[in-house]
């Protein structure tokens, strides 16, 4: 999906949700309890609407999500909440501090890492990728700059996965598809458009940035991201699993809704999954507290020097409809500009958002039962409606 169309969907979802009547919670058949009450705590100052946030977490699990973990912060005030279940079998309450697959929120870390390397003069954002990784792209490609990879204007097409349907990829969930295999399949398709002419949000751009990091540093992407971003940000519960399919430490189970031929829906446990092909574009496992730390440290200028940090809040001005910057997306609602990033892997959906001045921050983890769907998860919509108004 093109970035501008993707953003239109996002904006429409939030706008409709924020202006609509409360969503009814449909019935949910599970071996655990039908719902578990939300647990929450917050300040009365700061103006996050505690009542609306609490209501947004009611009646979980439901057909769209098995759990939701929320952290609202910033100078406006704070609020914390958790609802739903750890797993459908036992029905016990969701772990508020649990780890989860953060999906494309990984791109925020990758963007910060690349900007650090630029500040250290290890990379030139205006230099072509071909200078650093000769032979990676064929002669069919014009020079693609590092900056164009970062803001999704490279024109490189998406790489192939291990299937085109959920059933296919699920059957291969323990297989390993290397980042270089993904890139090779993308390059074989040739360019989609001339670099810098359009913006198309794709994982392939950040997969290549991960390979670029490894080439210029001589170390693995995971090692450099941990040393340069995770540790300085205080993200002690965040890591990159590589080819390991399980999630280490406390975590809530993730499920995918699967419809049978007779029209019934079952919920398949998809917690364990080899995500190596996501690499620097979406392999990270994190917590809501760690992602909140990332946003605060990053936006304050603690992780990336301020001259380079401006790149994270700069959208290509010459491309009509562009909204993506370096790892973030610009979203305006009711006169307030948020910089956000969504993420989704099977069983898990995430959202991070913040104003540039950190007056309001939001981190959400949802046990989304269709995390790879086109539209925003309805539970995430409810939470965003309550948190960003």
Share of the chain above pLDDT 70, in %: 88
Please write the tens of the pLDDT for every residue from 240-283.
999 999 999 999 999 999 998 898 999 999 999 999 999 999 99
Task: For residue 188, list its beta bridge partners.
Answer: none
Confidence of residue 30 (pLDDT cuts 50, 70, 90): very low
Q: Bridge-partner residues for 41, per DSSP?
A: 80
Query: Which is nearest to 252 in space by CA: 32, 51, 28, 105?
Result: 32
What per-residue confidence (pLDDT) applies to 38? Answer: 56
Does the pLDDT of residue 106 top 50, yes or no?
yes
pLDDT tens figures, 159-210: 999 998 999 999 999 999 999 999 999 999 999 999 999 999 999 999 999 9
pLDDT band at 289 (very low <50, low <70, confident <90, very high): very high
pLDDT interval class at 46 (50, 70, 90) = low
**Residue 235 scores a pLDDT above 70:** yes
Q: What structural domains does the chain harbor?
A: 3-388 (3.40.710.10)
106, 206 in Cβ contact below 8 A? yes
For the cut 80, the answer to whether the pLDDT of residue 334 exceeds it is no
Distance CA 76, CA 218 (A): 43
CA distances from 322 to 16, 122, 164, 343 (A): 22, 28, 27, 19
Mean pLDDT of 297-315: 96
Q: What's the sign of the alpha-carbon dihedral 289, 291, 295, 300?
A: positive
Q: Give mean pLDDT, residues 94-100.
A: 98
pLDDT, position 116? 97
Mean pLDDT of 121-136: 97
Read off the pLDDT of each residue in 361-374 and give the average, rounded to a whole number: 92
In this predicted structure, what is the pLDDT of residue 374? 75
Residue 91 φ then ψ, to 5°: 70, 10
Q: 93 and 39 in contact (C-beta within 8 Å)? A: yes
Q: What is the pLDDT of residue 202?
A: 96
The confidence score (pLDDT) of residue 39 equals 56
pLDDT band at 40, cuts 50/70/90?
Answer: low
Long-range contact list for 212-218, CB < 8 A, 24+ apart? Answer: 212/114, 212/123, 212/129, 212/132, 212/133, 212/146, 212/149, 213/110, 213/113, 213/114, 213/117, 213/280, 215/132, 215/133, 216/117, 216/122, 216/123, 216/132, 217/117, 217/122
């Amino acid at each position: 999906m093109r970035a501008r169309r993707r953003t239109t969907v996002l904006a429409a979802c939030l706008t409709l949700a924020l202006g609509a009547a409360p969503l009814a919670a449909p019935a949910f058949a599970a071996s655990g309890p039908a719902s578990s009450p939300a647990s929450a705590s917050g300040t009365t100052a700061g103006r996050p609407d505690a009542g609306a946030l609490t209501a947004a977490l009611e009646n979980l699990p439901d057909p769209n999500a098995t759990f939701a973990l929320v952290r609202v912060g910033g100078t406006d005030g704070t609020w914390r909440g958790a609802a739903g279940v750890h797993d459908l079998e036992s029905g016990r309450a969701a772990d508020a501090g649990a780890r989860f697959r953060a999906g494309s929120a990984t791109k925020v870390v990758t963007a910060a890492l690349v900007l650090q390397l630029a500040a250290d003069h290890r990379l030139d954002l205006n230099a072509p990728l071909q200078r650093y990784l000769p032979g990676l792209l064929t002669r069919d490609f014009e020079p693609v700059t590092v900056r164009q990879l970062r803001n999704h204007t490279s024109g490189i097409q998406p790489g192939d996965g291990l299937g085109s349907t959920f059933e296919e990829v699920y059957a291969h969930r323990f297989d390993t598809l290397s980042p270089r295999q993904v890139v090779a399949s993308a390059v074989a398709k040739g360019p989609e458009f001339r670099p810098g002419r359009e913006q198309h949000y794709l994982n392939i751009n950040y997969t290549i940035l991960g390979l670029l990091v490894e080439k210029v540093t001589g170390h693995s992407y995971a090692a450099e991201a941990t040393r340069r971003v995770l540790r300085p940000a205080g993200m002690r519960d965040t890591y990159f699993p590589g080819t390991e399919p399980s999630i280490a430490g406390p975590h809530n189970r993730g499920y995918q809704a699967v419809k049978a031929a007779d029209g019934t829906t079952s919920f398949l446990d998809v917690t364990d999954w080899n995500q190596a092909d996501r690499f620097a574009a979406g392999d990270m496992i994190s917590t809501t507290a760690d992602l909140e730390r990332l946003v605060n440290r990053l936006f304050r200028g603690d992780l990336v020097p301020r001259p380079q940090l401006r790149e994270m809040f700069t959208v290509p001005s010459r491309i009509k409809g562009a909204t993506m910057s370096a790892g973030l997306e610009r979203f305006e609602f009711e006169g307030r500009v948020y910089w956000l990033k969504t993420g989704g892997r099977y069983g898990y959906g995430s959202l991070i958002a913040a104003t540039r001045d950190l007056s309001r921050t939001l981190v959400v983890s949802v046990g989304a039962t269709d995390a790879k769907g086109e539209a925003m998860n309805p539970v995430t919509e409810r939470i965003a409606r309550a948190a960003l108004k």
